[in-house]
């Protein structure tokens, strides 16, 4: 599974987050390679109100064995069944 780490800017008002703030995200994609998924990844995030996306790192993980954070593990499992899953850090970057 592909794992992507980056930042994105919130483009819509949200109850929990402030429009215009930049947040770190982690994304899992069942489909690879990264270069073939860039457009789908962008569409997935934009559809959810995020833009000005900057990918910082990407890589491949074989299984969930090395994932210790419960939210990331849930996202990994969701991506296995739905193709994509993303987690957004609630704290805005400064």
Residue listed under structure tokens 């499992």: 77
Within a domain: residue 17?
Answer: yes
Within a domain: residue 16?
Answer: yes
Query: Which pLDDT band, with edges at 50, 70 and 90, does 68 fall under?
Result: very high
Within a domain: residue 2?
Answer: yes
Q: What is the pLDDT of residue 23?
A: 97
pTM above 0.85, yes or no: yes
In b/e form, how buried is each residue of 65-76, taking b as 16+ CB within 10 angstroms? eebeeeebeebb
Within a domain: residue 15?
Answer: yes
Distance CA 64, CA 69 (A): 10
Within a domain: residue 75?
Answer: no
Q: What is the pLDDT of residue 13?
A: 82
Q: What is the dihedral of CA 32, 36, 41, 43, to 10 degrees?
A: -140
Give the total number of structural domains in the chain. 1
Tally Cβ neighbours within 10 Å of residue 47: 8
Q: The domain containing residue 11 runs over which residues? A: 1-25
Q: What is the pLDDT of residue 8?
A: 97
Q: What is the pLDDT of residue 32?
A: 86
Within a domain: residue 18?
Answer: yes
Q: Is the pLDDT of residue 94 over 80?
A: no
Within a domain: residue 31?
Answer: no
- Determine the average pLDDT of the residues in 69-88: 94
């Amino acid at each position: 599974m592909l794992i992507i780490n980056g930042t994105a800017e919130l483009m819509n008002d949200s109850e929990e987050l402030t429009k215009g703030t930049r947040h770190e995200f982690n994304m899992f994609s069942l489909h690879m390679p990264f270069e073939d998924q860039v457009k789908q990844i962008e569409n997935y995030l934009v559809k959810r109100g995020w833009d000005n996306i900057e990918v910082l790192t990407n890589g491949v993980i074989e299984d969930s064995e090395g994932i210790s954070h419960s939210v990331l593990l849930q996202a990994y499992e969701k991506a296995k069944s739905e193709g994509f899953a993303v987690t957004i850090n609630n704290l805005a970057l400064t």
